[in-house]
Amino acid sequence: MTSQVVVSGPDEALPALRAAAPGRVCVVPLPSSGGPAAVRALWDVEFLVLEHQRTDLLPVLGELPALRVVQTLIAGAEWLEPYLPDRVRLSRPAGARDNAVAEWVAAALLGLASGLLLAVREQCQRRWRRTVSAELAGARAVLVGAGSIGRCARDKLAGLGASVTVVARTGRAGVHPVTELDDLVAEADAVVLLVPATAGTAGLVGAGLLARMPDGAVLVNAARGTVVDTAALTAEVLAGRLLAVLDVTDPEPLPPDHPLWTAPGCFLSPHIAGATRQGKARAIEAAADLLARYARGEG
């Protein structure tokens, strides 16, 4: 490693990156677009901070000879991993967005149970229609995913009085193995997805599992769209049997004519569960901290 590390990242992260290791880093802005110009602009960059919106830069990562570390600003990295050379270390801002996603999950279930989500939809039609609502306290939620986000969401929902059952790939104390998921969802008022996009989670929630969910249950997806069979979920929602609150879809975004846009039992948000100001600030802080340690030669 040279005496000075060349680092690049989004404009709003540059002040924190500059302050991370004064005299040890040289900070350059990200290029405005990908392609050959980006290769030239990033030629000497050793440490790159990357947002998931900058997919235009992904094809050039393998052409950057100095690149050694890529730090993302979100937890998921399936969009990035196929483009990383073996010599490049991938780092993620562990925990930075846990609270944001957990609050979105709680808001989704509270909004649905209380009738607020439905009332907002009725407002758009200028309809004043009172309905009988429910309370989240006492609801049975199956939470699929036992990572740091899952644990934070579990605590939020339990604090609101919900009965939470956690499921992960392998079972352990307080966590059920995914092999029990079919049986667990049969008793659930809500199934919450908080797993990463992997080969093992692709299509995890298919027609069979959805069919086992009770009438009136809700599927909440704050994971990745590929975890759910969109066609199977659409059929259940259009039939009026299940409800859905989705922050992610497959494909993403949905085509303009997709029936889930207007399905009465479906509520969509545009992949914003973790997109809080505080979450991004924590992610940038994590990137700056890692850069400081890297610049000091600590790995």
Query: Is residue 63 flagged as an active site residue?
Result: no
Which neighbouring-strand residues pair with 140? Answer: 163
- Catalytic: which of 271, 277, 285, 296? 271
Which neighbouring-strand residues pair with 266? Answer: 244
Counting every residue written for the chain, the total comes to 299
Q: Other C-beta atoms within 10 Å of 235: how many?
A: 16
What's the rounded Cα separation, in Å, for the pair 27 and 169?
A: 41
What's the rounded Cα separation, in Å, for the pair 176 and 182?
A: 11
- Catalytic: which of 252, 258, 277, 298? 252
Query: Is residue 172 flagged as an active site residue?
Result: no
Q: CB burial class (10 A; 0-12, 13-18, 19+) of residue 285? A: middle
User: Which residue, among 24, 22, 58, has the nearest Cα to 38 in the 3D structure?
Assistant: 58
Query: Is residue 252 flagged as an active site residue?
Result: yes
- Decide: 280 and 287 in contact? Cβ < 8 Å: no
- Catalytic: which of 151, 224, 236, 282? 224
> Where in the sequence numbering do the catalytic residues fall?
224, 252, 271
